[in-house]
Structure 1
Amino acid sequence: MARKFLYMIAILAGLVIAALFAMRIWSTELTRFAFVPRSAYTRLEPVSADAYAANTMWFSRPGVGAQDPSQWVPSGVQKGNGSAAVFFIHPTSYLARAAWNGPLDDTDTNRRATYFIQGMASPFNGQAQIWAPRYRQAAFGAFLTDKAEGQMALDAAYLDVRQAFDTFLASVPADKPIVLAGHSQGALHLIHLLKDRVAGTPLAARVVGAYAVGWPISIEHDLPAMGLPACNGPDRTGCVMSWASFAEPADPGVVLEAYRTRPALDGKAKDARPILCTNPLNGGATPAAPASANLGTLKPSDDLKGGDIIVGAVPARCDPATGILLIGDPPELGPYVLPGNNYHVYDIPLFWTNLRTDVNRRVTAWEASRKAVAQ
């Protein structure tokens, strides 16, 4: 009996080793198998023209009340009273493969989106308003395939975001400064909004800053079409902040591959040149900053319903070869680090306090420039 037990242990150990080996060799293929929808694409009808007039189509907006996840702050942090209105586009929270676009009423999807908004939009609540729309986001698997259905899903999601943005603009006073922000899929939709709704229009003068985080931006082929330059200092306004965080040793291959499979905003193919990287610890002033410049990282609680601020947790350095943001040794923030030491989920929490300071400083600079012009 003991010998049989040992044989069984040996067999199970062998299976575990084989499974780990398979995951190491075929992790990309297995991820695609797990997340890419297999169903045919079903065309989405546009939401009604007045859909975003209703509070139910927003996770966050004035009037949502105590359940607004963007209004959370960590212990010891005070909400501010800045003048800007913020439009925030949440990242992918639909992880199922039942459809190419997530439904608006899926409980698990909306719960994850709420957590994302709490951790990622809360740095912006030092300002007057935050608007974060619900939208029929593309499934996570849409980013893992070169099938036409993946792009169709993203295009459909973008139409919802664009409609929400138009409602946001119509609801905000014409003289109010605005901050635009998005993470991951939200950042991808944001760069399209900049191209379609901001670049070359009077609205560009009202943009304090655009924070397109967690989605690579081509300096040569995306940034010019967005109509705003990269931020090169903490007091610059009307500029773009962007980064993608990796601990070291970093392996950004999968991320950069997904980025290069789709054409740039100018319609051209993306190349292997470094992506845009603006250092969140110093507002893009220099490529590198030490951990001592980190005013506070938000470490989420185990249940994701709260978190604590840790000062000086990580440095930040833009890698000149790739443009990814390197944060040194892997910090312990939680179980959601992706393969390749990819801290994608933590892109904003890593620099929570610096980002809050960055937004407030740029709004102050924008207001000062307006007063100077008026005088």
Structure 2
Amino acid sequence: MARKFLYVVAILIVLTLAAAFAYRLFGVQLTRFALVPSARFEALPRVETNAYADARLWIARPDQPGNPALWTPEGYRPATDAPAAVFFIHPTSYLDRSRWNAPLDDARANDLAATFLRGQASAFNAAGAIWAPRYRQATFGAFLTSAADAQAALDLAYGDIDAAFSQFVREAGPDRPIILAGHSQGALHLTRLLKDRVAGTPLARRVVAAYVVGWPVSRTTDLPALGLAECRRAEQANCILSWQSFGEPADPSLILDTFDATTGFDGQPRRGTPMICTNPITGNAGDAAPANANLGTLFASDDLKSATIAPGRVPARCADRGVLLIGEPPELGPYVLPGNNYHVFDYSLFWANVRADADRRLKVFAR
């Protein structure tokens, strides 16, 4: 595993070269030209209802040899009898512009997705056994255009997530506590999953917490449709967490302008509405914490084959609109998106705190 371990930096390199670097040098139009597929969307059939009974369609599952979600930095160990079941939806790892959706057998996309699990999903392996599906994710360029093909690509990807979630629920059993988590595109699909499959159902009572990280969630136009409350306090379960990390000085205008042009789950404009901002250091909503309260940031080694935990390096405070400000961040390499956006580090900046948060909410849930 160590030999293949590129941690999250491998995908950061790709994302930066493909997006941030192009954006800074050439602007939005050329970035779109470089990444948005020129071909028309190909309407592929939905996966079969029981497709995810096939273990090969999972990047991580409890019985999988070499499970990347079981990776931990030195000093940490995954639970041997984890009480919860975790459904984790990985972020975009497919950047090919030849098609709108990744093939399920795309080796590069799957390898990068496994890298994400090591750097992100691993934070949950002390609280629960982790299931993470392969899915025909929308390519990165789908997030750079409002074309109908982009929405069709996201709908296709969500169909796979929906089928995988059905299999996860069957395998997790009828009573086991559930943790839901995702990042970026994965968090987008998670919001839809909460709305369609969790809200108003008995399953909602089994959710310890939903970590909708790296995707904006409007408190007023989205949250009421998701079936869970916002996590306002650290000692709270059955709730939703969300944050988006920015170094300072921050310019979140690219995120906010896009967010403000969209419609919420209630059909009303999101413009001007506040976003959920959970402070991952404290577990509370809307507050601030100094760097010395950070239990540990995940840092990759120079050769990208391992990672270590460094506590006390990164503070966090929620700004008025709902972005998470991290002050002047430590050197993490040239992989920061426009606006001082530390999006791709959302989990690794607070890896040890996320781990502690999941454990704490699980204990609250079990009371």
State the Cα distance separating 1:22 from its structure 2 match.
9.6
Q: Structure 2: any 5+ residue segments left out of the alignment?
A: 1-20
Return closer, same or farther for 1:78/1:22 CA change in 2, 3 Å cut-off: closer
8 Å contact kept, 2:86–2:179:
yes
The residue type paired with residue 93 of structure 1 is S
The structural deviation recorded for 1:101 is 0.7
Which amino acid letter does the alignment assign opposite residue 191 of structure 1? Answer: T
TM-score by length of 1: 0.89
TM-score (norm 2): 0.91
What does 1:239-318 correspond to in 2, within 5 Å? Answer: 239-318=239-318
Deviation per residue, 1:25-84 (Å, 9 max, x gap): 75222221111111111101111222100111000012111x211000001112234311
State the partner residue of 2:171.
Answer: 171
- 2:69 matched to 1:70? yes
Match of residue 50 from structure 1: 50
Matches within 5 A, 1:164-203: 164-203=164-203
Q: What is the aligned partner in structure 1 of residue 358 from structure 2?
A: 359
Q: Which residue number corresponds to residue 217 of structure 2?
A: 217
Q: What is the CA-CA distance between 1:304 and the residue it aligns to?
A: 4.0
Structure 1 alignment gaps of length 5 or more: 1-20, 369-375
8 Å Cα contact 1:83/1:176 also seen in 2: yes
Partner of 1:102: 102
Moved more, 200-209 or 100-109: 100-109
Q: Distance in 2 between matches of 1:72 and 1:24?
A: 34
Q: For residue 86 of structure 1, report the CA deviation from its aligned partner.
A: 0.2
Conservation of the 8 A alpha-carbon contact between 1:82 and 1:360: no
C-alpha displacement of 1:23: 5.5
Q: Letter of the aligned partner of 1:297 in structure 2?
A: T
Q: Deviations over 1:68-107 (max 9, x none)?
A: 1100000111223431100000000011111111111112
Which of 131-140 and 265-274 deviates more? 265-274
Q: For residues 306-345 of structure 1, what are the structure 2 equivalents within 5 Å?
A: 306-320=306-320, 322-345=321-344
State the match for 1:346 in structure 2: 345
- Whole-Å separation in 2 of the counterparts to 1:251 and 1:302: 29
Question: Is residue 205 of structure 1 aligned with residue 205 of structure 2?
Answer: yes
One-letter code aligned to 1:227: G
The letter of the residue matching 2:338 is P
Query: 2:60 matched to 1:60?
Result: yes
Contact 1:115–1:305 under 8 Å retained in 2: no
- The CA deviation string for residues 136-164 of structure 1, in whole angstroms up to 9 with x for no partner, is 00111111101111111111100100110
Supply the distance in 2 between the matched residues of 1:205 and 1:304 (Cα, whole angstroms). 40
Q: Distance in 1 between matches of 2:124 and 2:192?
A: 21
4+ long deviations beyond 4 Å? 21-26
Which deviates further from its counterpart, 152-161 or 329-338? 329-338
Among the aligned pairs, what percent are the same residue? 55
Q: What is the distance in 2 between the residues matched to 1:190 and 1:348?
A: 16
CA RMSD in angstroms, aligned pairs only: 1.8
Q: CA deviation at 1:367?
A: 1.0
Task: Encode CA deviations 1:288-337: one digit per residue, 9 max, x unaligned.
Answer: 111111000001234544211010111001111x2110000032123321
Paired with 1:22 and 1:101, the residues of 2 have a C-alpha distance of: 22
What SS does the corresponding residue of 2:63 show, helix, strand or coil? coil
**Partner amino acid, structure 2, of 1:50:** N
Moved more, 21-30 or 201-210: 21-30
Question: Contact between 2:96 and 2:139, CA under 8 Å: does it hold in 1?
Answer: yes
Tell me, in whole angstroms, the C-alpha distance in 2 between the residues paired with 1:165 and 1:303.
36
Structure (1 or 2) with the larger CA radius of gyration: 1
The residue aligned with 2:41 is 41
How many Å separate the matches in 2 of 1:33 and 1:286? Answer: 38
Comparing 29-38 with 190-199, greater Cα deviation is found at 29-38
Distance across 2 between alignment mates of 1:200 and 1:24: 44
CA distance in 2, matches of 1:160, 1:85: 19
Q: For 2:123 and 2:354, how far apart are their aligned partners in 1?
A: 6
User: In the aligned structure 2, how far is the partner of 1:241 from the partner of 1:40?
Assistant: 36
Distance in 2 separating the partners of 1:82 and 1:50: 26
**Match of 1:358, as an amino acid?**
D
In the aligned structure 1, how far is the partner of 2:232 from the partner of 2:54?
A: 38
**Partner-residue secondary structure (3-state), 1:272:** coil
